[in-house]
Structure 1
Amino acid sequence: MNTMYEKIGLCVSGLALILNIVGVAIPYWFYYGSIQGVPETGINFGLWKICASMPESIHGPVISMCKSFDDIEDFSLPSEFKATRALEILAILATVAAAVVVCLKMFVRKDDNRLLYAASPIPFIAGLLMIIGAVVFVADNKAK
């Protein structure tokens, strides 16, 4: 019976890892549409890059361009962004650590339940880091 729970935990950890990586990577942490009332325009950004879309001409095709924050000259990333990046990366690492410990328990040390006791708080810590990272990002007045 324990093996079933271990497999479920490993699958859930894997899913959480994939979703967290995708969530951290996408440039849609903030979206602002219709810049100065112009339709089909918008700005969005994430932790790593900023994107803008606007029509080429009044009735022309919409052009989208993205640029990494690191590539923008004379721009220093706010400390809240750096803190959010750090918290989200730590959450990803904690999720990987939890999955590794469960794999060790399942395949290497099958009879050692101490690994499960050691691994059980790690996903909660990872989730807490994810939530704190999102709160830090949202609480930043400059990002609103």
Structure 2
Amino acid sequence: MAYWLMKSEPQGFGIDHLQQRGIALWDGVRNYQARNFLRQMQAGDQALFYHSNCKVPGIVGLMTIVKGGYPDPTQFNPEHRYYDPKSTLDQPRWTGVDVEFVEKWSEILPLSALRDIPELEDLPLLQKGSRLSLMPVTMAQWHAILAHKPNA
């Protein structure tokens, strides 16, 4: 099993959206490094749901990968905002995964608090210039984050 941190803007697709749906396609990733991480994800992997580009960015809950990487169907739909005319069914460029809601935290664990956890100094999220929408998390980092979960 692997651990991940996956970022999304709450106004577009937040933890509440996932909670309502139960299971959803994590789509729209259009960065090659992040796409390669999606291709590594497998059913059973665990992920932190991180709200980005909002007043207080931070971790808001947990989810599970229920279907590993497969071609993101939005890349083939000319009407969709994630359409990519260079992608073909024979050679898709982009990957999605299915995620399942596990838990919404009672409070956000803000980015500012993550910076104060010594075990997270190597977490890509905290590195200057890191803008990836998803990234691996080590088991030690995972446990350090869960130890700081609000109302844990």
TM-score (norm 2): 0.24
Q: Which has the higher strand share?
A: 2
Q: Which has the higher contact order (CA 8 A, sep 6+)?
A: 2
Give 1 or 2: higher helix fraction. Answer: 1
Larger Rg: 1
Give the TM-score taking structure 1 as reference length: 0.24
